[in-house]
């Protein structure tokens, strides 16, 4: 498939935190589930997110000699504290500038957001803003780390949607994520679109396009506008042109 949607790779069983929970309680659940962060939910909707850096800032800054501890050590330390010792709630330490994503968005979009914002996970929400899952960098990597044979099938399926009669003798081969496509397209625009579809297939790192084409249709629209007396911005011909044709 050309664009694998988030809903196919996201995790449905989400570790959720609540704003009134203590850091002690939140750290216990994060440590127990082996995750380094989680969305904060109120009435089913995401209002923030707590990451390992939020926990570090909340608990470790005052504690001397713990700055080099691993996140597992930090969670273990926090989980061993009582609520009165930590004195802070999830609402106190969470980041409310949380970025969410739709389950229909592509994995490429999720990867781009994570890279740009330097975050490790994105809560997935429905059209009403309710949390339905979470997608992490690990999920994205897993979706893209497929073998070449599987990628060949996906690229083939992506290009075939153009119509089996638009590209004759289509062949697809993938070697270490590099897809090579060949055949004879009816026109140049079909060839270019096939390359775009192949390049958007999750897991494909590069496309070598060896598809040939029967004619170049790049300049057809320009030529038609220059030669056609019809005003291209309207659905009717200027009267002087019509009168000239009539004469």
DSSP letters of 87-154?
A: --BHHHH-BS----B-TTSBHHHHHHHHHHHT-SEEEEE-TTSBEEEEEEHHHHHHHH---HHHHHHH
Mean pLDDT across 51-68: 65
List, for residues 84-98, the tens digit of each pLDDT value.
445 789 999 998 889
Q: pLDDT grade, residue 56 (50/70/90)?
A: confident
Q: CA angle, corner 123, sides to 120 and 128, nearest 5?
A: 160
Find which of 112-116, 140-144, 149-153, 206-210 is predicted with most confidence, using mean pLDDT. Answer: 206-210
Same domain, 158 and 204: yes
List, for residues 168-182, the tens digit of each pLDDT value.
999 999 998 899 999
List, for residues 97-140, the tens digit of each pLDDT value.
899 999 999 888 898 899 899 888 999 999 999 999 999 988 88
244 occurs within a structural domain: no
Same domain, 65 and 22: yes
Q: pLDDT grade, residue 221 (50/70/90)?
A: low
Q: pLDDT grade, residue 241 (50/70/90)?
A: very low
Q: Rounded CA gap, 247 and 242, in Å?
A: 9
Residue 61 burial (C-beta neighbours within 10 Å; 0-12, 13-18, 19+): exposed
Q: Which residue has the higher pLDDT, 188 or 233?
A: 188
Q: Which of 82, 108, 143 is the last residue of a domain?
A: 143
The boundaries of the domain holding residue 68 are 6-143
Same domain, 170 and 114: no
Same domain, 34 and 134: yes
Same domain, 173 and 206: yes
List, for residues 8-30, the tens digit of each pLDDT value.
889 988 899 999 998 888 888 88
H or E segment and range at residue 37: strand 37-42
Residue 29 burial (C-beta neighbours within 10 Å; 0-12, 13-18, 19+): middle
List, for residues 25-49, the tens digit of each pLDDT value.
888 888 888 888 899 999 999 999 9
134 occurs within a structural domain: yes
241 occurs within a structural domain: no
Same domain, 28 and 119: yes
Query: In the chain, what percentage of residues exceed pLDDT 70?
Result: 76
Same domain, 86 and 136: yes
Q: Which residue has the higher pLDDT, 242 or 212?
A: 212
Same domain, 133 and 68: yes
Q: Rounded CA gap, 17 and 22, in Å?
A: 10
Q: How many domains does the chain have?
A: 2
pTM above 0.75, yes or no: no
Same domain, 183 and 87: no
Q: Which of 93, 126, 143 is the last residue of a domain?
A: 143
Q: pLDDT grade, residue 184 (50/70/90)?
A: very high
Mean pLDDT across 55-62: 68
């Amino acid at each position: 498939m050309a664009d694998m949607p988030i809903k196919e790779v996201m995790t449905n069983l989400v570790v959720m935190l609540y704003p009134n929970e203590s850091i002690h309680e939140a750290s216990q659940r994060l440590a127990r589930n082996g995750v380094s962060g989680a969305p904060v939910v109120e009435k089913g909707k995401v209002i923030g997110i707590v990451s390992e850096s939020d926990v570090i800032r909340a608990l470790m800054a005052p504690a001397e000699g713990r700055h080099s501890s691993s996140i597992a050590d930090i969670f273990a330390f926090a989980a061993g504290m009582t609520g009165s010792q930590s004195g802070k709630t999830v609402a106190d330490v969470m980041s409310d500038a949380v970025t969410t994503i739709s389950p229909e968005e592509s994995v490429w979009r999720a990867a781009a957001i994570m890279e740009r914002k330097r975050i490790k996970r994105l809560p997935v929400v429905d059209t009403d803003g309710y949390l339905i899952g979470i997608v992490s960098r690990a999920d994205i990597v897993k979706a893209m780390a497929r073998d070449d044979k599987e990628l060949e099938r996906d690229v083939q399926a992506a290009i075939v949607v153009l119509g089996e009669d638009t590209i004759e003798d289509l062949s697809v081969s993938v070697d270490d994520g590099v897809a090579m496509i060949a055949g004879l397209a009816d026109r140049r625009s079909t060839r270019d679109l096939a390359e775009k579809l192949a390049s958007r297939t999750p897991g494909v790192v590069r496309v070598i396009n060896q598809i040939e084409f029967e004619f170049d249709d790049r300049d057809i629209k320009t030529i038609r506008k220059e030669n056609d007396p019809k005003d291209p911005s309207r659905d009717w011909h200027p009267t002087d042109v019509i009168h000239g044709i009539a004469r």
